[in-house]
Chain A
Amino acid sequence: MLFNSLSFVVFLIIVLGLYYSKILNWSGKKRMLLLASYVFYGMWNPPLVVLLWISTVVDWTAGKKLATLTSPSKRKMWLLLSMVVNLGFLAFFKYGNFLLENFTNLVNTIGWDFQAKPMDIILPMGISFYTFQTMSYTIDMYKGKQERAKTFLDFALYVTFFPQLVAGPIVRAKDLITQFYEPKKATLNQFIWGLFLLTIGIFQKVVLADALLSSTSDKVFDSAKVLHGLDAWMGTLAFSGQIFFDFAGYSTCAIGIALMLGIILPDNFKYPYAAVGFSDLWRRWHISLSSWLRDYLYIPLGGNRHGITRMYVALTLTMLLGGLWHGAAWTFVIWGALHGTYLVVERLLKKLIPIKINVWNGVLLALLTYTLVNITWVFFRANDFDSAKRMISSMFYLHPDGEKILGFAEIGKVGIVILGLFMCHWLMRNTSMKAVSEKLPSWVLGVFWACLFFFICLAQGSGEQFIYFQF
């Protein structure tokens, strides 16, 4: 089910009605939320709910054993079991075809004529998100950083909680399970603010990502032609906006819906396109994933505790795997590699050229960061290496006679939206929407909210899937 759909509106009204009715006690409400979460997921593909059940049962059992066993070898075995099941699902469903394709290419290269029949595997929606979430529970249990969930119901709801089930934020057990222990109810202000966040999230998705930017981005990236530099840049900028509004929109909806239930989810985006440098970017973009990668990959790989070289290797590996997490294709690996390289170069440069950031050089450095981020988005969005190569060469103006496929109006539209996006991020980089809204007169927020609602109605979204569902 998509947040930007009519069925979700009906679903949410029913869930909220039951949640705030007096017919259910707290356990009943949690059971209702769990059932609702399975319905939310099953409306897409009912049989794949079984995967959620398996993940839940395996990690609940592993957590139970990790909490009671003292033998290090047995504890390690239970952790491994959890990892094998979770990563096994991920490997099969997400990377099965990719691995087979690469294996076939490899053996063909060494002269063995082998042709594999492609496996027709459905990618379960949001598998990367809930897999990482449940793994964090087991790993933290193993490390002794996390107490065992009090009841199976609390744990199952943690794995399946519908607002963030399919596209995050990836929430740690300690931040969410504990919220299920005591009865939760949103205050009136929390409920209204949650509804506002839901509206702004849907506005980002339906109006900004789908209605204003997606067609330009699709037109440019689906073109088989060598494009003029301006067209290539506008297509890439459009995609940079589309993916931000799409993904941040989802996270904002998720946070808002949870808040309407009185549950607090962490921020996932903090105005990332105003980042000054790449370390700053990853503290602002998909925060729940970057902190997951930091805690469960970068630090176990050595982090910055074993010298500079090891740190750079750890950083690069983390970003490469982060790239692969997004999709089973080498273009995603290149995307991750570029980010890894940017991070390494930034750390080297910081040592060589210490710069004190002020407003003037800050905005220039943010622009530079954003420009370099756009180069990486080409690999993220391109259908294959050839089109990525064509796009990059066009963006470096190597094809002055390249094909023009965008009109002035479309260029202007993307330009206005992206300029607005960048300015908004820059002005908001050290504050939050909540802080700004608190300074506004009530009627100004109301008018702004009404405009968001009107534009959502005007856009009449056709229920386009969120980009991050495929990850």
Chain B
Amino acid sequence: MNLKKSLWTAVILGFTFVTIWELYVRSKGYVSELDDNKALWAIQRDKVDDLASDDVILLGSSRVHFNVQLNEWEESTGIRPLMLASDGTTPTPIFEEIVNNTNFSGTVLIGVAPVLFFSEPGKGFMWDRPTKRLKHFYDRTYAQRTNHLLSIPLERSFAFLNASEEEWADDIDLKTLVGNISVGNRLPEGRPPFNNFGFVDGDRNVTMFEKTKTDTAFANGIIKVWGYGWDRRPGPVLEPVVSYYKPLIAKFKERGGNVIFLRSPSSGGNRERERNDIPRADFWDSFLEQINEPGYHFEDYDSLKHFTCPEESHLFTPDAEIFTKEIVKILLADKQIKTRNTN
């Protein structure tokens, strides 16, 4: 046996296989994109200590993540906010960490997705997920940091590198491909397939996939997942959330910080469930009244209430750009945020 020959065969064939696979997945609509994972989040979290008092941190779940567009915010104020919102989470543990472990004294905009925000502090996936990100931020090794930095140019170049921390149903890594095989019905039907519907750039600014707007079947697939979640989540709570936030906000304001709450648009059946299960008067209004802080609800502003979410929960990116510009205008008018633009 000639090992040199084997090596050359392996190199040529190996790269041929990978090239064919790359071309195939691109033909199926996949593009090279960054994974919005804990390592990418930690890079943003790292920047908090360098922020000035006129800077803005965005916290919340996917609604802030999709709906507040960093480029438009920066264009309007001269300040690029720091995106620390994470999909499927409550912002509470991150806000707590910023208040207790940093000296940041600027503005924190907290997105309120009712079903995630009004949940029992310390419990459930909505709390575990941001906690894991914080743990990674504090525990990450130099090897992990280096691996992530090295992975970024590869993720930006190859569409086949499409495995995500979120474990989307349409990821194309081996584990997901094998996991998607279904035979028989030994188990009751589980969560409907949850496909990725947006991609992030280096500072975690999200762009929603075009097909979410144009492909009704695709959007309906995501809507089904929201419906599945509604039927299984524990009921909303108010008092524990108020009790959790009150001392944190007091501490943050004492050092000059400013907190703003934002309720982004939702549509269709999702909006109906929010109205019925987490009524505004009982939760949003009552929360703001008890903590005595400013809150901006899309229903209260003509410029914010006409949007329709393609999958009932998030804005299509061109709409999100308009939404961002409009909310910034309102916040500037109310002197809740500052601008560095001179004209």
Contacts and interface: CB of A to CB of B under 8 A. Distances in A.
A234 to B, nearest CB: 11
Interface stretch (B44-52, B173-181, B279-287): B173-181
7 contacts: A45-B141, A188-B4, A442-B1, A443-B9, A450-B12, A453-B10, A457-B21
B3 A193 contact: yes
B342 interface: no
Interface residues of B, number: 44
Interface string B131-170: 0000000000111101100110010000011110100000
Given A405-B187, A407-B184, A443 B18 contact: no
Query: Which 4 residue pairs spanning A and B have beta carbons closest together?
Result: A446-B9, A450-B13, A449-B10, A453-B14
Secondary structure at the B interface, as helix, strand, loop or mixed, is helix
Nearest to B162: A460
B10 A450 contact: yes
A471 B291 CA distance: 49
Contact of A454 (B8, B18, B151, B181): B18
B12 to A, nearest CB: 8
B6 interface: yes
Given A42-B142, A192-B7, A211-B173, A437 B1 contact: yes
Of the candidates A207, A405, A440, A454, the one having the most CB atoms from chain B within 10 angstroms of its own CB is: A454
B3 A1 contact: no
Nearest to B142: A43
Range, interface on chain A:
35 or more
A233 to B, nearest CB: 14
B191 to A, nearest CB: 13
A43 B147 CA distance: 11
Contacts of B11: 450
A458 B22 CA distance: 10
Given A207-B174, A457-B160, A460-B161, A442 B3 contact: yes
Q: For B8, B141, B150, B181, which residue has the most chain A Cβ atoms within 10 angstroms?
A: B141
Contacts of A463: 144, 147
Contacts, number: 143
Nearest to B180: A409
Contact of A407 (B2, B163, B175, B186): B186
A212 B9 CA distance: 27
A438 B10 contact: no
A125 B184 CA distance: 43
A212 B174 CA distance: 8
Contacts of B186: 404, 406-408, 411
A23 interface: no
Interface in A402-448: 404-413, 437-443, 445-447
B182 A5 contact: no
B163 A409 contact: no
A449 B11 CA distance: 8
Contacts of A411: 186
Interface in A209-231: 210-212, 215
